[in-house]
Amino acid sequence: MSTKPLATETVTGPGSGFDPGSAYRCSPNVALRPEPFGALVYDFVTRKLSFLKTPELVEVVKGLEHHPDVHAAISAAGVAEAQRPAYVKALAGLAESGTIEAR
């Protein structure tokens, strides 16, 4: 298992306000451009460019709006059980940066 972060955003810890038991979606202010490694993420408000470093993370982010919570989106994307904590951590960072938002 790789120890590299899945996204370039700063990852937050407890108290960040991110709740993986809640529903999220990709922000409408963000565009994802698929790439072989994952995706480029461009925020039209902040003009920030960042990266999703795996195709699986891209699938999770795109699937968030179709599932009742983060855990369901991660499961639907077929993420292995051992990798799920890393995905939750990456999604917490994406929430902190505004790439994903509660719905």
Could you list the residue range(s) of the whole structural domain that residue 50 is in? 24-102
Residue 33 lies in a domain: yes
Judge contact between 74 and 88, C-beta under 8 A: yes
Alpha-carbon distance of 83 to 29, in angstroms, equals: 28
Q: Is residue 18 part of a domain?
A: no
Euclidean distance between the first and the last CA atom of the chain, given in angstroms as a whole number: 31
Please give the Cα distance from 35 to 67 (Å, whole number). Answer: 24
pTM higher than 0.85 for the full model?
Answer: no
Least confidently predicted of 1-5, 22-26, 71-75: 1-5
pLDDT digit string (tens) for 31-77? 999 999 999 999 999 999 999 999 999 999 999 999 999 999 999 99
Q: For residue 70, is it within any domain?
A: yes
Contact 58, 52 (CB under 8 A): yes
Distance CA 78, CA 73 (A): 9
Name the domain count of the chain: 1
- Mean pLDDT value across the chain: 89
pLDDT (mean) for 70-95:
97
